Amino acid sequence: MSGYSAFARYYDELTANIDYKRRGEFFHGIIQKFKTTKENILLDLACGTGSISEVMAGLGYDVIGVDNSDEMLGIALDKKFDSGLNIQYLCQDMRKLDMFGTVDITICALDSINHLASLDDVKKVFENVAFFSEQDGLFIFDVNTPYKHREILANNTFTYETEHVYCVWENTLDPDTLEVKMELEFFECEENGLYSRSSDGFSEKAYSEEDIEALLKECGFEVLAKYGDDAPEPPCETSQRIVYAARCIRSGQKY
């Protein structure tokens, strides 16, 4: 999994096109459709800089954000202080999740599951979510699809330019495993007119719907619905992202 050490500084600026409010409200609609538990304790797993945590807290959830990057959480805390919302943040690897109680809802957004390097790691995360879920608690998460890895990310290079930073994003696809290695170079203009350079890198792996659903079942979840590309319709062959809504039917167990 990635540390996002250098990327954290530029993350929000380079992802300004993401409509976090819309995404959070989409998750909220799924929760309202399927939720049966009484409380509103929500775990935002791999919460990053806290953008979705802020949206969900604003919608009335008691939010706990967990991320493995100190740098990302530092930015999340700055947002919390600015908004005044009551969000708790914990620095943890989601494969080794250790909560102080159970939650009613777990969300995991923006292809964080794809950062896991193997199905064994995915299983560990699903087991942890089940263990810290209330009975009938919800687990809502998204994944990038094999189609996106093969056709969109692939071996492509992307460039991004903002007022403060120029980013070169280079992908390398393993066609057999559908793992994409991503190398990022950042160039930031300093006051003296020179550019400072920093680098970061991480990998994402695509998993089939069959593998994801088999692991959910094995870890005590039932799949309630699947959505394509953050829309209320089911996924299709060219969906770049799938959102899963699952219910924990065997909570508090290690497998």
Please spell the DSSP secondary structure of 101-145, one letter per residue. Answer: S-EEEEEE-TTTGGGS-SHHHHHHHHHHHHHTEEEEEEEEEEEE-
pLDDT for the residue numbered 255? 47
| Rounded distance between C-alpha atoms, residue 109 and residue 2, angstroms | 15
Per-residue pLDDT of the chain in tens (255 residues, 90 and over written 9): 555 788 999 999 999 999 999 999 999 999 999 999 999 999 999 999 999 999 999 999 999 999 999 999 999 999 999 999 999 999 999 999 999 999 999 999 999 999 999 999 999 999 999 999 999 999 999 999 999 999 999 999 999 999 889 999 999 999 999 999 999 999 998 888 888 999 999 999 999 999 999 999 999 999 999 999 888 999 999 999 999 999 999 866 554
Q: Is residue 29 within 8 Å of residue 22, measured between CB atoms?
A: no
Residues 186-189: contacts with CB within 8 Å, 24+ apart?
186/6, 186/7, 186/9, 186/10, 188/164, 189/164
pLDDT for the residue numbered 172? 99
**Which domains, from first to last, does the chain contain?**
7-144+207-248 (3.40.50.150), 148-205 (2.20.25.110)
pLDDT for the residue numbered 193? 80
Read off the amino acid at residue 188: E
Residue located via tokens 């794809």? 114
DSSP 38: S
